[in-house]
Amino acid sequence: MEAELEKRVRDLQRGWEAKVEASVEREEAAFAELVRAHHPTMVRLAHSFVSSSSVANEVVQETWLVADGPAVLATVMAGSSKATSGM
């Protein structure tokens, strides 16, 4: 009986861990899409305040870091840098 209870607890724990992991992945995907959609516009806006494209890009990257942290940003910036490099 005790072994059965322990098994059920482990199964529940695995289920919750899977749900938490899936939730985090969805959240990261949503944030990544937000960055992809708005990063180029934000860089153009920042560039209207500073004379350097690289400084404008750094300002926006710092903004994203404050918003979510480096985990998602590092992944997204590889694709976004192509969109903003033509400035």
Distance CA 83, CA 62 (A): 18
pLDDT of residue 83: 43
Q: What pLDDT digit, counting tens, does each position of 16-29 carry?
A: 777 767 777 777 78
**What 8-state DSSP symbol labels residue 52?**
-
Burial 34-63 (b: 16+ CB within 10 A, else e): ebeeebbebbeebbeeeeebeebbebbbee
What global pTM score does this model have? 0.56
Q: Tell me which residue has tokens 């494209």.
A: 53
Look-up of token digits 């560039």: 47
Domain ranges of the chain: 2-84
Banded pLDDT at 87 (limits 50, 70, 90): very low
Q: What confidence tens digit (pLDDT) does each residue in 38-81 have?
A: 889 999 999 999 999 999 999 988 888 777 655 555 655 565 55
